[in-house]
Structure 1
Amino acid sequence: MSMLKLAFQNFKSSFKSYLSLIISLSFTIMILCNFMNLVDSGILNQLGESNARNVEIIIQVLSFVIGCFMLFFVWYSTNVFLTKRKREIGVYVFMGLSNQRIGKLYAIETIFIGLTSLILGIGFGALTSQLFMMILMRISEITVEIHFQFSLQAGLTTTLIFGLIYLLFVIKGYVNIVRSSVLEMVSANRQNEYVKQKKVILVFKAIAGVVILALGYYLAIKEAGMEVMGNVFIAVVLVAAGTYLLFGGLIPVIFQGLATHKRFLYKHERNLWINNVIFRIRKNYRTYAMVCVLMVCSVTALAFGFAMKNRYDGIVHFENTYTYQVLSDDSGYRQEFATLIEKNNDIDVSSDIEILAIDSTYTDNPYSQPYALLAYSQIKKVAEETGMDFDLQEPSDDEFISLNHLYLMSLTNDMVADINTINGQEYRSIAAIDTPYLGYMQENMDYMIVNDHVYDELQVYGQKMHLYNYKIADASNFEASVEDIQSSEHCLGLVKIDPEREEIAWIKILYSVSIFMFMVFVFAGGCILFMKLYNDAFEEKERYAILLKLGISRKSLKKSIADELLFAYVAPLLVMSISSYFSVRALGNLMQTSLFSVYLVSVLVIIIFFIFCYLLSLLIYRKNAGI
């Protein structure tokens, strides 16, 4: 029988064993293929040149992330597959086959798995491409014309990326088998990830893990200024390292301590699974840590998407506060401009305010935007006229309140002490707000709200401007009044807001993409745990057979398996829930928004998915273990 036929027969007979791996790989390939097709389909061109370019950059970055994840996932899954197959393949040595021919057999069988995954992934990617785009645009709330179009280039690019990654690990597995001895092959599945360590080392790792995690959590929520971005980056590294040490040190120490307490151990037949958990955590702690980190990444990715969407909605609301903003050189023209607008539109809200632009020669920032002063009483009047919130405390003579615009993403959390100097006098910021009292015009200058006394004193150092603001009932009819407003000799400048413009629509795409990334990471994490437990069941078959012969009932063994598998899912889930809380909290501080509800929903979704994986694992584990 040829190697090809033998490998194909092995593949067919073990297809159920490979099913979870094939589904996981196919799902990842399908997502990557759909992202590639989105770029090549030409649909993004309907969003405009700027949006299309930004979305393409986002998708290219995400494709790179998925590619890196695919590299990692293929490495892990092929290692698990190789270890499981080594003992079986090692039998061929006794049949007279050389290591080279055995390695060739493994490579062909592994290629069958990869080809099946690739065909399914590309096939479902092509079939779901239109649905993927519809869901993406629906979540993004973007209206574009969608037609079925699957790009051959997208399929070829996906095939090339996956093929190179997969071939790399096929070759690695072939070389591994060629260099392995018969003893290594036969005992391989008992060596996987097993790390025998002294208790002193475990205690050291436990303490180090707790300290590193605590430091990472602290940096994640620490109040900071310009260094906040660096703190977040360091926190990510520390949380990942701390999670690894936690599963490799603290959890084994806890369970070993429980195993020494006989009263605890012998109640409810815990001795049937506690010791096995100790062995499993020392054997599989890298897997648990990896799944935990994947889940933290999934929750953070989803929270980031929601944070960007919230910021987008805030910016759109901010810019659409007023439909027209008219700049004039004097006061008293509010009714004149209102009359011109009312020829074609009804006015819902209007306000006017005086702005004092300080000459840069009197300030400490001569090369940046000039300071623009606003009187406290006038801001209060604008708030009353427009119905906006106003709960500001009036500044003292050496204080001011910063009136900011909404940033898409800030690299600080506004905790930096802000002191501005005008004509040698220092003024200290006591608060920073982003309420859109001045609407779109709030983006153009550094606004300082000072008390009326200071405002009057500083008038000699600047130039007054008058801003008249109007919001009409039908914003889509804004063009109708533009010529009338500009016909006035008192109109020095006009800002008109088109409610239909989509200059930053790419942010909504980012939001919907983050949902798909969340799904990919969660699905992958569940599949990794499922594959690991699936393979562990075969190793435990002999042990459970012996326990049955010793008189242990099947009911007790089934409960033992249920408790053991429950730990395998609950431990990563518990650590993930704690770590992701701090990661989402850090992201919320950075983006200046509350993401707690996103955290709760995402964790709940993961719990539901893990419950499904647990029940499926329990059913298959018992079957494979012969219980």
Structure 2
Amino acid sequence: MSMFKLAFMNFKNSMRNYLSLIFSLAFTVLVLYNFQNLISSGVLDRLGIHNAEYVEMILQIITFVLGCFMFFFVWYSTNVFLTKRKKEIGIYIFTGLTNERIGKLYVIETLLIGGLALTLGLVFGILTTRLFQMMISSLSDLSIQIGFQISFRSILITSAIYGAIYMLFVIKGYVSIVRSSVLDMISAAKQNEYVHEPKCFLIVKAILGTALTLSGCLLAVKEGGMEVMRNLLLSVILVVVGIYFLFGGLIPLIFQTCSKHKKFLYQKERCLWINNVIFRIRKNYRTYAMVSVLLLCSVTALAAAFAMQARYKNIIHFRNMYTYQVLGTQDGLNSQILSSIEQDNDVKLHADTPLLIFDPSLIETLYKNNIYSAVPYSRIKQLAKETGIPFNLPEPADNEFINLSNPPLMSLITTKTDVTLTLNHKTYHQIAESYEPYLGIFEEQMSFYVMNDTEYERLRAIGQEAYLYNYQIHQPKQYQASTDELESLIASNPAQPLSYVAVDPKNSDIEWIKVLFSVCLFMFLVFVCASGSILFMKLYNDAFDDRAKYEVLQKLGFSKETLRKAIQNELRFTYMAPFLVMTAGSYFAVLSLSKMMQTPLFSINLLSVLFIFIILYFCYRISIVIYIRNSQIRS
């Protein structure tokens, strides 16, 4: 019999055992293909050049993230498969086959699995392409025409990424088999079992894990200036390494300590599952750590999605507060401007305010800009009353100011304390910052500082006085109807320089944010499903290894119900340990994101944790049924 026929026969006979592996790999291929197809399909071009470039850049970054995820997922999957197959194919050495030929048998069988997973992933990816694009379009609230098309470029790129990663670990498995002895292959399934580590080592790991994780979490929420990005990168590293040590040190330490207390151990069938967890934790803790990090990424992705959506709505509201804004150095132009606009449009509201523009050389501040100006507190308060904008700003003292700013998409400067402004050698302290559109879109182009009226009058000597006139019409979509009149008004006053802004409500230069919302939402689902499938696949394969143990326990007289309870407890730990670590870590991750996005996200954090709990609980219930069936526990 040829090696290919033998490998194909093994593949065919063991197909049922490989289903979880094949479908998990196919799922990663499906996701990667759909993202690649979104880039290659030309759908993004309909968003406009500016938005298409932003979205394509984001999707390329996400493709890299998915590639990294695929790398670790394939690594884990092939390691599980190699460990399981070593013992089975190692028996062939007694038939006279050399390690090299056994390695070739493994390579052929693994390639059959990988090839089938790639084929299924591409087929289902192609079939779901239109559905995926419709979901992105619907979630993003975009009106773009979507058609069914097959992108051969996306197929080639997806196959190349998957093939390169998969072949790397196939070769690694081949080398492992060639270098293995007969004993290594026969006892491969037992090599990863955990032997009690010295308690001092576990204590050191537990302390390191706790310290690193807490340090990373606290560093993530630490307020600061431009060092925030550095803190975030460092916190990610600390948390990932800390979680690794938590599962490698703290959790084994807790279980080993509990197992030594007989009063605890011999209650509620704990002796049947706690020892099983202890003797498998060495093999499992890397998996638990990886799943915890994946779940943490999923919660962060969902929080980012809703934060982006909230910021987008705030920016749109901010920009559309006024339809027209005119900046000039002459007072009393309101009636002229109003009459010009009302020739073609009905004005809904209007308000104006004086301001002082300063020479930039007089200003020292953390937030750099081209134009700096001051506005009187009383006028901003009156303007808010006239326009209906909420106002709850305290009146600043002579050495204080309030910063009026446009809502940023994301700010790396999270500190809100000890912010100072030096104007003409006098230092002012910031007591508040407002993102309300009191001065409309001009807040995106100028820095506005609210001073009390007394201080404003004192600063007249060093500032150039100007006036900002603001107007909102009933039909913003007809804004172009009045632009000719405004331009004529400006041209008729050459001695008094004027500039104006007309806001297009259909302006789509930030439409890419809506696409990012749907992509982040999809990433959340991908990471949650991947986490559930990793744990499910692990338990699916572990059940076959436990057959002998449960067969002995049944012969000793343990009932199916007793063994079922023990299995439930063991599997509950498998799902709950990563979930609890993720829940604790997600609070700090989402809080950090909330500070940068300046959006409350605690409710999103709670909802995401609840959703993940439901998904993991569903996987847990299915795992119990599959585990009992695969371990052949009989009534």
Q: TM-score range by the shorter chain?
A: over 0.9
Q: Is the 8 A contact 1:7 1:109 kept in 2?
A: yes
2:419–2:430 Cα contact (<8 Å) kept = yes
By how many angstroms is 1:325 displaced? 0.5
Pairwise CA distance, 1:7: 1.0
Aligned to 1:147: 147
Structure 1 contact 195–283 (Cα < 8 Å) conserved: no
Contact 2:248-2:285 within 8 A present in 1 as well:
yes
Distance 1:19 1:310 in 2: 41
The equivalent of 1:599 in structure 2 is 605
1: distance between equivalents of 2:70 and 2:193? 21
Distance in 2, matches of 1:360 and 1:603, equals 48
Instruction: Look up the SS of the partner of 1:537 in the other structure.
Output: helix
Q: Aligned partner of 1:475: which letter?
A: P
Residues 555-597 of structure 1, C-alpha deviations (whole Å, 9 max, x = no match): 1011111111111101111111111111111111121111112
Q: Are the equivalent residues in 2 in contact too, given 1:216–1:235 (CA < 8 A)? A: yes
Q: 1:383 is aligned with what amino acid? A: A
1:160 is displaced (CA, Å) by 1.0
Equivalent residue number for residue 442 of structure 1: 443
**Which residue of 546, 563, 571 corresponds with 1:565?**
571
**Contact 2:223-2:415 at 8 Å conserved across structures:** no
CA distance in 1, matches of 2:618, 2:422: 62
CA distance in 2, matches of 1:615, 1:367: 57
Q: Is the counterpart of residue 497 in structure 1 residue 503 in structure 2?
A: yes
Structure 1 window deviating more from structure 2 (308-317 vs 33-42): it is 308-317
Closer, same or farther in 2 for the Cα pair 1:414/1:349, shift >3 Å? farther
In the superposition, the TM-score normalised over structure 2's length comes to 0.96
1:210 equivalent in alignment to 2:216: no
TM superposition shift of 1:539: 1.6
* Structure 1 residue 195 displacement after superposition: 5.9
Q: Aligned pair in 2 of structure 1 residues 571, 222: CA closer, same or farther (>3 Å)?
A: same
Report how far residue 167 of structure 1 moved.
1.1
Structure 2: distance between partners of 1:66 and 1:32: 7
Deviation sequence 1:395-433 (CA, Å, 0-9, x none): 111111111112222111143633222222222222222
1:548 is matched with: 554
Q: Is the 8 A contact 2:223 2:413 kept in 1?
A: no
Residue number in structure 1 paired with 2:113: 113
Q: CA deviation at 1:193?
A: 6.3
In structure 2, what is the equivalent of residue 421 of structure 1?
A: 422
Q: Which residue pairs with 2:161 in the alignment?
A: 161
Q: For 1:607-626, list aligned pairs within 5 A.
A: 607-626=613-632
Decide whether aligned partners of structure 1 residues 426 and 148 sit closer, same or farther in structure 2, where only a CA change above 3 A counts: same
Corresponding residue for residue 482 of structure 1: 483
> Deviation at 1:368?
4.9
2:611 is the alignment partner of 1:579: no
- Inter-CA distance 368–293: structure 2 relative to 1 (3 Å threshold): closer
State the match for 2:14 in structure 1: 14
Instruction: Tell me the equivalent position of 2:290.
Output: 290
Range with bigger deviation, 52-61 or 208-217: 208-217
2 CA distance for matches of 1:33 and 1:282? 35
- The answer to whether the aligner puts 1:400 opposite 2:401 as a matched pair is yes
Instruction: Give distance in 2, aligned partners of 1:323 and 1:217.
Output: 44
Distance in structure 2 (CA, Å) of the matches to 1:175 and 1:216: 38
How far off its partner does 1:311 sit? 1.5
Secondary structure (helix, strand or coil) at the match of 1:66 reads helix
User: Matched residue pairs, number?
Assistant: 627
Distance 1:166 1:282, change over 3 A: closer
CA positional deviation for 1:280: 2.4
1:77 aligns with 2:83: no
Instruction: Write the distance in 2 (CA, Å) between the matches of 1:193 and 1:260.
Output: 19
Q: Distance in 2 between matches of 1:402 and 1:193?
A: 61
Which amino acid in structure 1 is aligned with residue 625 of structure 2? L
Structure-1 separation of matches of 2:550 and 2:360: 82
8 Å contact kept, 2:369–2:446: no
**Aligned mates of 1:192, 1:567 — CA distance in 2:** 19
The AA in structure 1 aligned to 2:62 is L
Letter in 2 for 1:477: Q
Alignment correspondent of 2:63: 63
Structure 1 distance, partners of 2:378, 2:293, is 52
Letter of the 2:223 partner, please give it.
E
The answer to whether the Cα contact below 8 Å between 1:225 and 1:416 also exists between their aligned partners in 2 is no
Distance of 2:175 and 2:368 partners within structure 1: 63
Q: Which runs of 5+ in 1 are unaligned?
A: none
* Alignment-derived partner of residue 273 in structure 1: 273
- Are 1:103 and 2:103 counterparts? yes
Q: Please state how far the C-alpha of 1:2 moved relative to its aligned partner.
A: 1.2
Show the counterpart of 2:343: 343
SS in 1 for 2:546: helix
Cα distance in 1 for residues equivalent to 2:467 and 2:308:
34
| Structure 2 counterpart SS, 1:267 | coil
CA distance in 1, matches of 2:182, 2:129: 47
Corresponding letter in the other structure for 2:286: R
Alignment of 1:224-235 (within 5 A): 224-235=224-235
SS in structure 2 at match of 1:501: coil
Structure 1 residue identity aligned to 2:110: T
Determine the C-alpha separation between the residues in 1 that align with 2:193 and 2:230. Answer: 34
1:131 corresponds to: 131
CA distance in 2, matches of 1:317, 1:122: 42
Matched, 1:533 2:539: yes
Q: Report 1:313-462 matches (<5 A).
A: 313-364=313-364, 368-415=369-416, 417-462=418-463
Is 1:34 the counterpart of 2:43? The answer is no
CA contact (8 A) 2:405 2:433 kept: yes
Q: Is the contact between residue 376 and residue 451 of structure 1 (CA under 8 Å) also seen in structure 2?
A: yes
1:492 partner amino acid: L
C-alpha distance in 2, partners of 1:540/1:24?
23
The one-letter amino acid of 2:481's match is: A
In the other structure, the counterpart of 2:253 is 253
SS of residue matched to 2:450:
strand
State the shift of 1:333 in Å: 2.1
Aligned counterparts of 1:177 and 1:502: Cα–Cα separation in 2 = 57
Deviation digits for residues 162-185 of structure 1 (CA, Å, limit 9, x no counterpart) = 111111111111111111111000
1:78-111: per-residue Cα shift (whole Å, max 9, x none)? 0100000000001000111111111111101100
The structure-2 alpha-carbon separation of the partners of 1:557 and 1:546, relative to structure 1 and needing over 3 Å to count, comes to same
Distance 1:367 1:439 in 2: 19
Q: SS at 1:268's partner residue? A: coil
1:435 alignment partner AA: E
The sequence identity of aligned pairs, in percent, is 53
RMSD of Structure 2 on Structure 1 (CA): 1.6
